[in-house]
A and B are shown apart, each in its own frame.
Chain A
Amino acid sequence: MSWTAAQPASQTQPVRPRESAVRAQGVRKVYGRGESAVPALRGVDVSFDKGAFTAIMGPSGSGKSTLMHVLAGLDSVSAGQVWLGDTELTGMNDTKLTRVRRDRIGFVFQAFNLIPALNAQANIELPMTLARRKPDPQWYDSIVDRLGLGQRMTHRPSELSGGQQQRVAIARALLPRPDVIFADEPTGNLDSTAGAEVLSMLRSSVRETGQTVVMVTHDPVAASYADRVVMLADGSIAGELVAPTTDSVLDALRHLGD
């Protein structure tokens, strides 16, 4: 495929029959006030398809993490709208946002961020426990199968390797079948082997179960696992790449400044 201009999500094209899982419309985000104001997002329109694995890429300071936080309802916007499916997140109060996050969004963080006091199993079940929901046993078993932790389910995070911890974090995100999983540099703290395992797990969850995944990364190899790459520069969408390879991503990054 070739470069296409980013389309406002509201003008979903008939050639792409898929529904959008998350979309942003005219989103601006400014940190600080007056003279010290720093714009992080300068009017972003973007849409993420259901059942797709999308990567957000861009150099440091491009606003990719801010975009993810805004899309996930972790941070407020200065202007514009964010939609999760049919639900508008912008304008919600903290408690409602918390509930949306709990019930409909999953997270995978760079620093794993498992709760040290809980063992692997309890960590996986935590979002369900918070929502007072019972996990579907079949679904639970299939996730744990893919996790490949075997007997280590009762171990605390400090007793697991980085790759194992991140896989537990992915299982935690998958279990409630959220509308979308946001992954923030999920391989940033891992060596290449462990990173590859984590990315494969994310991709297979998309391919096999239709999970929607949005991943922020600056690693072209990680981005090549995705179905689509959205490029961000200076707080604006700078283009996108469908069915990326490591080389095509590197190439696109090289021309980003042009």
Chain B
Amino acid sequence: MLSLSLAQLRTQAHRLVATVLAIVIAVGFVVATLVLNDTSRNTVFGALSSQFVNTDAVVAYDWQTSTGEMPDADAMTGISQEIEKLPGVAGVALDLSAYVNARLPGSQGYRYAQVQSLGDGELRWQKLKSGTWPDGPNQVVAAPGRNLEVGSTVELQLQPTDDDGSGNGQGDTKTVTATITGITDRSSGITSIGSQQFWATTPQATAWGAQEVDAIRVEAAPGVGSDQLTQQIRDALRDDRAAQALSVRTGQEQSESIANDLTSDNAELATVLLVFGAIAVFVCALVIANTFAVLLAQRVRELALLRAIGAGGKQLRRGVLVESFVIGVIASLLGVVAGIGLAAAVSAIGSSYENSPVPLAGVTVKLMPVLIGMAVGIVVTMIAAFTPARKATKVAPLAAMRPMDMAPITTRGGLFRRISGVLLAVPGIAIAWYGGKESDLLLATAGGMITFLAVLLLARWLVPLAVALVGRVVGPLGQVPGKLAALNATRNPQRTAATATALIIGVTLTTTMVVGAATTRASASAAIDDNYPTDVIVSDGGGQDLPAVLIGTLSGVRDVTSTMGVPGSTVKINGEESSVLGIDPARAGKVLRADENGRVPANGTISLPTWYEDGYGIKEGGPVEISAGRRTLTLKAHLVGSAMDGPWISTPDLAKLDATAGLQQVWARLADDLDNDERGEALDAVSNAAADVAPDSVLSGSADERASFDQLIDILLLIVLGLLAVAVVIAIIGVGNTMALSVLERRRESGVLRALGLTRAQLRWMLLWEAMLIAGVAAAIGVVLGSVYGVLAVRAALGNSGGVHMAVPVMQVLAILLVATVAGALASVLPSRRAARISPVAAIAAA
């Protein structure tokens, strides 16, 4: 039997191309997903731990485990000096950082930035990509960023400092100009995602007000091991009271601790990637099973012939399994290679992309993805091959030799499928609903998969029913061939369902992603709107009043649609000092993006963040006493969530309290239809215009955050859709295969129709119509399922972190529907040409 199996493989290689292709693509899909997952995790972990991994010992305050107070800067300096005296210590670095406003090259406005001190010798963990290390005053190295080059200068606006080192002291801000002497590699700067990172020598950083201590890193003297050093430091600090809240670890331990914190912090990210991998395996299994079933069904007669000439059922099954094993191994190997290649390509593209949200460097190929890919490919192929093989060997040899289209259509197992489908659907829907409601992503995913399995089980009953209904409605449009097509499409429910299944899978996944992304975007957008009153907020970096002319200046900037000046004052609220902003209720509606909580105060009301409830003893709807100087107003309280910075009152109320309230902020709203680049340009333009009038002005607002968020979603969506396009391609191969099989099975019937007077064009039209009916119905089912799954997934993933705003991108979903239907139609082109070429005589004669 083995020799026969191998002979089959050799002589029928062309037949197997489609199967092998499906396995290669599916396995490649799984492997690429897993490899990318490992790569991005490795890159992040590697970058985050690079600060410590080569350090012998680290003394730091652990936010996760420490219970005591964090020692202040002086105490930390004292501890570091104490450590320096220990015999096993070669060097000590006190990592200090300062937060500054930086005016970067090519921009006139200030952005938030961090300056950290550099360690010396072994303790300098950053890696330079170009330039040199700073060695004098007013020199920095920078993490890579836009417009940053060796030799360019940045203007740093330093926070006023005072004795307690909190950076909140009063006093004038100081502005210095620093020269960039070098640029580090990307992973060195990864610790400060979102703001620009600079490093300076320790004396320089201290001079600029770096007082916050991140960690004390210690280098061991030659011959002293990390563990030994760590123990020495622990012993030395045992009696130091200030050091009780600090942890002493080896660099390796510290790295692992950070990595663990990251995993627990990003458990959600890890779950998402896990879920994605599981989905990939699931799809791959279904698609391979489908394709293989179709291809083996084409050989039922051949298998029956072997039975007739004396092959035992067992022999036949073993033969098919050997065959599928060989195919599985070869195709899976190709798939693993393809997957790693794909991951490398994505990684290369991802890391060359500036400000890539997915941190990728090189490719991390672990054994696990390779093994999983191989296992999935081989096992699934063999399981897929087994069912049709069993079916073929169960048929009596002579019965199987009968013409295929005369064989009665079996409905055996239909009832079992239907019952098990319903049995799965009910708890599946319940679990999915519960998972969505409780924001449990794992439960929701499990529920989604169970319901999807149920749909696939019910497909054999559901799809023909839907096709019959649709066929009855649109059939007359296709005239006689159309009517025949509708009847044909429902004649072999198994075949129709198999064709539809492949497409349902692809379309469901694609729609899930598109709807999920749109819903995420809408939800996040709403959350951002909650956090910021409007797109752009200009305020003074030094806490001074802004010139009134700024309002007019900003109104003139392109893409700014409306502006509003926001005066503010420092008042006493129920006796406690607090700042307050005055909002013009008439203008606010134009500038604010959303005001769902009713933040804009009417005359006589004050809007407050909820934390005023505890701090100031204020109740919703209760009276609030506000005084400035000798004037006092009593306003009605409205508590509006925690996203607000501070209390708002209406401008008339503010004028009553403080007639001379200065302009504290200017709010500007940008045009709605800006893409990311245009939004970035508008922000730069606003920043430049503001700097002309008020040199110390600083920008904030939702536009910046929205821009980076949109970019993240777009890129992730692009990657995911790219991978899913692969699933759809496999699905189309599946449709083509089933149509080919369907044509093969109906050779005689097509011949009869041709003999009776159906023209070639009409026959082609009939098959095309049939394919479009099946594909259209499958796509419709997929779109509905996918939309539900998309919203469910976002609810489950983000439900904890805020409200979910459902958004179904109608045009995109319609496009998916159209593309899937057209793809189904295209897949039928080759088989239907083949069918039309059949001579009526050949078809009738080939009994």
Contacts and interface: CB of A to CB of B under 8 A. Distances in A.
Nearest to B746: A116
Nearest to B757: A102
Contacts of A158: 408-409
B383 to A, nearest CB: 32
Interface of A: 65, 69, 72, 74-75, 94-95, 98-99, 101-103, 107, 109-111, 113, 115-118, 126-127, 129-132, 158, 172, 184
A101 B760 contact: no
Contacts of A72: 755
A103 B480 CA distance: 16
Contact of A117 (B487, B755, B760, B841): B487
B676 interface: no
Q: Which of B491, B758, B844 has the largest count of A CB atoms less than 10 A from its CB?
A: B844
B111 to A, nearest CB: 70
Given A111-B406, A111-B847, 8 more contacts: A65-B845, A74-B839, A111-B403, A113-B748, A115-B749, A126-B756, A127-B757, A172-B756
B387 to A, nearest CB: 25
B493 to A, nearest CB: 12
A101 B756 contact: yes
Given A117-B484, A117-B491, A103 B757 contact: yes
B185 to A, nearest CB: 67
Contacts of A117: 484, 487-488, 490-491
18 contacts: A69-B841, A99-B759, A101-B756, A101-B757, A102-B757, A103-B757, A107-B752, A107-B755, A109-B844, A111-B748, A111-B844, A113-B748, A113-B749, A113-B844, A116-B749, A117-B484, A117-B488, A130-B758
A115 B483 CA distance: 13
Contacts of A102: 756-758
A65 B622 CA distance: 102
A118 B487 contact: yes
Given A94-B760, A95-B760, A111-B403, A74 B487 contact: no
Contact of A115 (B403, B752, B757): B752
A72 B847 CA distance: 19
B405 interface: yes
B322 interface: no
A102 B403 CA distance: 26
Contacts, number: 72
Contacts of A184: 844
B165 interface: no
B662 interface: no
A115 B701 CA distance: 70
Contact of B840 (A74, A99, A116): A74
Contacts of B758: 98, 102, 130
Contacts of B480: 129-130, 132
Nearest to B491: A117
Contacts of A127: 756-757
B301 interface: no
Nearest to A182: B755
A234 to B, nearest CB: 20
Contacts of B844: 74, 109, 111, 113, 184
A223 B408 CA distance: 33
Contacts of B488: 117
Given A98-B754, A115-B753, A116-B749, A74 B841 contact: yes
B767 to A, nearest CB: 13
Nearest to A76: B839
Contact of A130 (B491, B756, B761, B840): B756
A12 to B, nearest CB: 29
Q: Label chain B's interface by main secondary structure.
A: helix
Nearest to B752: A113
B577 to A, nearest CB: 85
Given A74-B840, A75-B841, A95 B759 contact: yes
A109 B752 contact: yes
Contacts of A109: 752, 844
B398 to A, nearest CB: 16
A98 B761 CA distance: 11
Nearest to B483: A129
Q: Which of A99, A113, A172 has the largest count of B CB atoms less than 10 A from its CB?
A: A113
Interface in B806-847: 839-841, 844-845, 847
A130 B479 CA distance: 9
- Top 10 A-B pairs ranked by shortest CB distance? A102-B757, A117-B487, A113-B752, A98-B759, A117-B491, A74-B841, A75-B841, A130-B757, A69-B841, A74-B840
Contacts of B757: 98-99, 101-103, 127, 130-131
A103 B758 CA distance: 11
A207 B601 CA distance: 101
B406 to A, nearest CB: 8
A98 B839 CA distance: 11
Nearest to A189: B847
A201 B438 CA distance: 74
A94 B840 CA distance: 11
A72 B845 CA distance: 14
B757 to A, nearest CB: 2
Contacts of B406: 111
Nearest to A107: B755
Interface in B63-95: none
A165 B435 CA distance: 57
A94 B763 CA distance: 13
A116 B491 contact: yes
Nearest to A132: B480
A214 B50 CA distance: 92
Contacts of B409: 158
A116 B405 contact: yes
Nearest to B836: A94
A101 B759 CA distance: 10
Contacts of A118: 487
A97 to B, nearest CB: 9
Interface string B277-314: 00000000000000000000000000000000000000
Q: Which of A65, A72, A98, A110 has the largest count of B CB atoms less than 10 A from its CB?
A: A98
A176 to B, nearest CB: 9
A161 B833 CA distance: 34
A113 B751 CA distance: 9
Contacts of B749: 113, 115-116
Interface string B388-416: 00000000000000010110110000000
A240 B201 CA distance: 117
Interface string B38-67: 000000000000000000000000000000
Interface string B724-756: 000000000000000000000000110011111
Contacts of A95: 759-761
Contacts of B408: 158
Given A115-B749, A129-B480, A130-B480, A75 B756 contact: no
A41 to B, nearest CB: 14
A249 B488 CA distance: 44
A82 to B, nearest CB: 14
Contacts of B761: 95
A98 B409 CA distance: 31
A110 B403 CA distance: 13
A101 B757 CA distance: 6
Contacts of B748: 111, 113
Nearest to A158: B408
B487 to A, nearest CB: 4
A115 B746 CA distance: 10
Nearest to A184: B844
A117 B480 CA distance: 13
Interface in B475-497: 480, 484, 487-488, 490-491
Contacts of A69: 841
A127 B755 CA distance: 10
Nearest to A111: B847
Given A111-B403, A111-B847, A74 B491 contact: no
A75 to B, nearest CB: 5
Contacts of A111: 403, 406, 748, 844, 847
